[in-house]
Amino acid sequence: MKTTIAIISFCWTLHAAVSARFANNDVNVDNHFNWAHLPKECGKNKELEMRIFGGEDAALGQFPWMVRIGATKGDLRGLVCGGVLINANHVLTAAHCGENGVTIAFVRVGEYDTRTNIDCDQFGCAPPYQDLPVVHWIVHKNWNTDTVQNDIALIKTKKKAKFNDYVKPICLPGRESFFRSYKAEGGVSLAGWGETNNSTYSIMPKVLQYVNLDVMNLRECQNTYIDYNITKAQICVGAGEGHDTCEGDSGGPVMKELKLNGEYRWYTIGIVSFGSPDCGVAPAVYTNVRYYLPWILDHITP
């Protein structure tokens, strides 16, 4: 991996922007047989009596598809990346999460506050988080650690997640005709448990964090990362003016809330891939989920 970039997670500074096209808009996956393995009810969070806008702490149940990915290396065991639940036993994340000799071992769903097993707010308590053992770690066959292309992976768990208000799948940007001409632009949201500062000493938040950013033109990222070829298989997020992704949440989602067919739903449109080693000073690069829909559908199994 070249040293001019950092494989990233979350560092929060303030304000940014997203306007690159969804790659492969012409992909037609309407009739793919594996849509049957994805839930029709997706992308709906708990109805919150009090939402947080522009803050750093997410509300309990705001992003119920958020996943923490656990890995082992020798005798060591820890949480290394983020991801999103797309059905009861599949998680979408980044391929680079499995680098550096680690074995992807389990996923944790229903996490919110890392200090507690049962999380509560003024409206009630969530069930304990669920740790699900991994049965398959599926990396894109063309994942390239040098070019950081095809940075996408799927996890299949041995057990199915038990859905509740705090554990739900997010939608993929696929079957609706809307996505065939959709231009990824404007505001998006990112969430994770990664670093919250840019200092020498890492500060990892205890509670799930989120940030609202904008999509940038791909040229913005190409001009920033001149040693890398930024393609339509990626999207560019943030303007280096504040909030950014940083160390701790690689593999986490870029999310967009859209009203389609009269309903608001959340869709995952990107995956945290790489960015500047100094958080918040430049836009970052994300894997374009829409581009990889055929691959995702091809690798989902019952």
Annotated active-site residue in 9, 90, 113, 151:
151
Identify the helix (H) or strand (E) that includes residue 209.
strand 209-216
Annotated active-site residue in 9, 19, 250, 273:
250
Encoding tokens for residue 86?
């797309």
Q: Which residue in 179, 164, 18 sits closest to 88, CA to CA?
A: 164
250 in catalytic set: yes
Annotated active-site residue in 32, 90, 96, 140:
96
All residues at 6 or more sequence positions from 251 whose CB lies less than 8 Å from its CB, including other chains: 69, 81, 82, 83, 93, 94, 96, 97, 153, 271, 272
96 in catalytic set: yes
Q: What does the alpha-carbon distance between residue 160 and residue 215 come to, in Å, rounded to a whole number?
A: 34
15 in catalytic set: no
Q: Checking phi first, is residue 61 left (phi over 0); if not, alpha (psi -120 to 50) or beta? A: left
Distance of CA 84 to the CA centre of its chain: 6
- The residues that are catalytic are 96, 151, 250
